[in-house]
Amino acid sequence: MKSTSLVILCGSLAISQGLVGQTTVQTMPEVTVYSPRVANQTPAESFVMPVSALRYEPLLDVQARNLTEAQVDVTIRGGIFENTGFRVGGSTLLDPQTGHYLAEIPIAPAMLGSPDILTGSASATGATNATTGTVAYGWRPVRTGGALTVGAGEFATRREEASVGQLSDERVFGARLGADVDFAHSDSNGSVAFGDSHFDRVNARVQLAGASAQTDLFAGYQAKFFGWPNLYTPFNSLESENLETTFFAFNHRADLGGGDWMQLSAYHRRNKDDYAFNRFAPLGPVHPFQHTTWVTGAALDGRNTLSDLVLAWRGEILADRLASTSLTFGPYRDRTLAKLALVPEKTIGVMTLRAGATYDYSDRNGSRLSPLLEWALLDGARRWHASYERVTQLPTYTALKSSPTSGLFRGNQNLGRESSHQAELGVTDTLAGWSLAATAFWRHDDALVDWTFLRGVTARTANAVNLDTEGFEAVARRSWAACDLVVGYTALAKNSDYRGASVDASFYALNYARHRLTAAITARLGHGFELRMDNTARIQAANLLRVTGGDRAVISSLGLTFRPAKWRGASLTLQTDNLWNSTFQDVPAVPAARRTVTGGASYVW
């Protein structure tokens, strides 16, 4: 759907509902918004996960295998799945085995705030071991109430979720005590043969919240089984994956006044992965691809005003460990990463200057000191900014510890620390009721780890690539009485050098949209009805691994919700994902999920 037609639709709705004396505007019950930049807040096929609200996010791209909630790679500004950081509270979440599992966050989105997409200097200082950008979540305050959701639809799909929270009148250290829990389950036979899935999640949280501080203690567990043909390899095999993720987190944030704050966080994460290249092959006593990783981390960050100088600072340490049946090459299975960031900031009139540095350390790969510079100019509602930063990260164990000469995934023990030089120029403004943001950026990645394909070799291989990326991204948003509209556009161009390696195709670094347009509309139709539609149109870079679906695609998600006035808190929803039944392959050689229609009911109190 073109953005012009969306504007016409919004305008006509606003006019029809704005006629005084002829139409009554109905007030809708409060709806949990997981992201204000997308329309459909929940998926059709499973219970909602933190990654669900990223499917049509204009500032990033998602590349799904089976459902988005099954396995998804999240990319920012043309990077690959391992360049993207995820942060909850003050902690950067790592998966040292592979970045494919970075989005395995076993937390109900109702417990988290809307995701912030950090890029440039904000990501360089705000996360560890991420180069292109960071998806950052905060902890929502606990509320008294609850929600029940059930759904069912095509391909024997069903889903259930129940959550409840309670705020106590008791005070502990002057703060109010609260707690909430969440249980979720979904099943589906899948939209293609052998694309079945089975997901479960359980969460519990205790919170102390006061006027200027909030402390959260969280425990979560998530189990996911899913199958898909060509899940990770282009060799026509029926593959499957069994993931179990356990997550414990502590976060304390205090607002110190005047925009100053401090945050202390810690977490422990265990991720267990059992991957089958052929799900029906006899596996024997030892599964050939079974891995478990443990990560323990702590971070302390903040912002403090010192006379006429503002100091932003951050320190984080992360320790990981691997146990694996196949990732056995190389001398070590554990490592420690640390990051320090110190960025002084000074404002002179309408101009702000930031100049600092980040320091990355690892006990296995040495250290790197990187500069950071940013300039900003505030001109009324318009803000200009320009920045330069260098960011570094380390490869994951799958790239480092896989056999270099045999197997489905060929590793490279010579891979070292990747570095990324980045520069950007951007502006934000308001114009004729629209909120606008646009950025032009350039990035040079040195020794980026990519997975590549070579004809005649039944494997994918980890290779280092020097990559230049030029891009432009823009987001525009406006709200009327009857509807909300968000439009995004991204353009990318790349130039690659695989440093002498033989490469016929790239699974990730050269799998990108040269042009991508998103449009999200939420239309309040009146009489309790609401229409939500997300759209993305793309022109993809050519890739010989993409055998069906072509390089151009339009993909949409459409949802219709009815909230009866007499049953406040109740709602009925009919939703379809992949409305046009596109066969476009997000990841080359991985079949697309087909159109799925489901219905659901929920009650919120």
DSSP conformation letters of 74-119:
EESTT--GGGEEEEETTEEE--SS-GGGTT---S-GGGB-PPEEE-
Q: Give the ranges where 418-562 is alpha helix by DSSP (H).
A: none
Rounded CA-CA distance 203/48 in Å is 13
Q: Would you state the pLDDT for residue 283?
A: 72
pLDDT digits (tens, 9 = 90+) for 287-335: 789 999 999 999 999 999 999 999 999 999 999 999 999 999 998 999 9
3-state SS, 114-143, equals CCEEECHHHHHHHCCCCCCEEEEECECCCC
Q: Which helix or strand (DSSP H or E) is residue 13 part of?
A: helix 3-17
How many residues in the chain?
A: 605
Angle at Cα 455 formed by Cα 449 and Cα 459, nearest 5°? 55
- CATH (residue range 3-21+31-593): 2.40.170.20
Q: Would you state the pLDDT for residue 31?
A: 60
Rounded CA-CA distance 494/445 in Å is 11
Distances (CA, A) of 331 to 96, 319, 401, 418, 530: 16, 17, 9, 20, 58
Tokens 């999240």, residue?
A: 74
pLDDT digits (tens, 9 = 90+) for 67-102: 999 999 999 999 999 999 999 999 999 999 999 999
C-beta separation of 533 from 39 below 8 A: yes
Rounded CA-CA distance 135/152 in Å is 30
Give how far the C-alpha of residue 198 lies from the chain's centroid of Cα atoms, to the nearest Å: 21
Q: Which helix or strand (DSSP H or E) is residue 593 part of?
A: none
Of 495, 491, 511, 494, give the one whose Cα is nearest residue 81: 511
Longest dimension (CA), the chain: 77
The amino acid present at 316, given as its one-letter code, is E
Other beta carbons less than 10 A from residue 500's beta carbon: 7
What is the mean pLDDT, run by run of 10 residues, along the chain of 605 residues?
A: 40 35 37 87 94 95 96 97 97 97 97 96 97 97 96 97 94 91 98 97 97 97 97 93 98 96 98 95 81 98 95 98 95 96 97 98 96 97 97 97 94 95 98 97 97 92 97 98 97 96 95 98 97 98 92 97 95 97 96 97 96
Q: Would you state the pLDDT for residue 27?
A: 39
C-beta separation of 127 from 79 below 8 A: no
Q: Half-sphere exposure (CA, 13 Å, Cβ side) for 16?
A: 12
Q: Would you state the pLDDT for residue 5?
A: 36
Q: Would you state the pLDDT for residue 174?
A: 86
Rounded CA-CA distance 456/503 in Å is 11
Q: Would you state the pLDDT for residue 12?
A: 37
Of 187, 228, 188, give the one whose Cα is nearest residue 64: 228
The amino acid present at 554, given as its one-letter code, is V
Other beta carbons less than 10 A from residue 181's beta carbon: 17
DSSP, res 54: G
DSSP, res 397: H
Segments making up each domain of the chain, as ranges? 3-21+31-593
Strand partners, 464: 449
